[in-house]
Amino acid sequence: MSVIDSFRLNGRRALVTGSSMGIGLAIAEALASAGAHVVLNARNAQRLDAACAQLSAGGLSVSAECFDVTDSGSVREAVTRIESQGPIDILVNNAGIQIRAPLDQFNDDDWRRLMATNLDSVYYVSKAVAQGMIARRAGSIINICSVMSEVSRPTVAPYTASKGGVKMLTKAMANDWGPQGLRVNGIGPGFFKTELNERLVNDPQFSSWIVGRTPSRRWGDLEDLGPAAVFLASDASRFVNGHVLYVDGGVTAAL
């Protein structure tokens, strides 16, 4: 197989959670552009259908499954439905939320909602999808981590804890499922202009600070993430397992 051909995903099927917008939609578009059929997911059916229509209009092979990744029963039902149409060869656990507040004032219900979305869901969806991957002794799982998997800052302690958990669950999954033919890796995006960060993007002081903290001296562009996802989803990374690839302009390398 040529080096370039090792990046192709023709004949593969992918599920990307939380892919009606932002990083998930960008990754879904990249995987589909590399040849995969991609199943998009989110809770809001209208936005999900719009995202599906947008990628289909561009000639990409996509479909949609509307379910809440925090509901383990719905997750199992959706995975069964998706697998009835063909195997899930690639899973990207992307769905996630951010809630910012000083830890001593954090709302307990917000803690549970954030942990359920950012961490519990990675366990629910991965365990459901891994059943088929283990049976086929093949599959690539990519968990979306964060700069906050390595460092933190004030007001995002629960998010930091959740993303630290996703990083270590990624490594643990590689240990449990590597011997069964699966690869489990992470992508750690830096600071990207998405709805999740709208408040930060619109704060000139924060934006100036984070650009100054980033060696590449800019916010991330969503197009920066697709190639990393295609790499980890494809045979190009066939001997990469338990790794977290930071696509962050160098911010985790800087004091």
- Residues designated catalytic: 159
- Asked if 127 touches ligand GCO (CB under 6 A), the answer is no
Q: Which of 139, 158, 186, 189 is the binder for ligand NAP (CB under 6 A)?
A: 189
Q: Residue 120 in 3-state DSSP?
A: helix
Q: Are 118 and 110 in contact (CB under 8 A)?
A: no
Q: Which residues are CB-contacts of 143 (< 8 A; sequence separation ≥ 6)? A: 93, 122, 126, 166, 167, 169, 170, 173, 184, 185, 186, 187
Q: Which of 29, 60, 70, 114 is the binder for ligand NAP (CB under 6 A)?
A: 70
Binding site partner of 153, from ligand NAP, ligand GCO, none, Cβ cut-off 5-8 A by kind: ligand GCO
CA 139/CA 141 separation, integer angstroms:
7
Q: Which of 99, 134, 138, 196 is the binder for ligand NAP (CB under 6 A)?
A: 196
- Asked if 144 touches ligand NAP (CB under 6 A), the answer is yes
Distances (CA, A) of 226 to 29, 72, 106, 220: 8, 28, 34, 12
Q: Which of 126, 170, 194, 252 is the binder for ligand NAP (CB under 6 A)?
A: 194
Judged by CB under 6 A, which stretch of 2-10, 11-19, 83-91, 175-183 contacts ligand NAP? 11-19
Q: Are 88 and 132 in contact (CB under 8 A)?
A: yes
- Asked if 100 touches ligand GCO (CB under 6 A), the answer is yes
- Asked if 147 touches ligand GCO (CB under 6 A), the answer is yes
For residue 201, the tally of other CB atoms under 10 A from its CB is 17
Binding site partner of 195, from ligand GCO, ligand NAP, none, Cβ cut-off 5-8 A by kind: ligand NAP
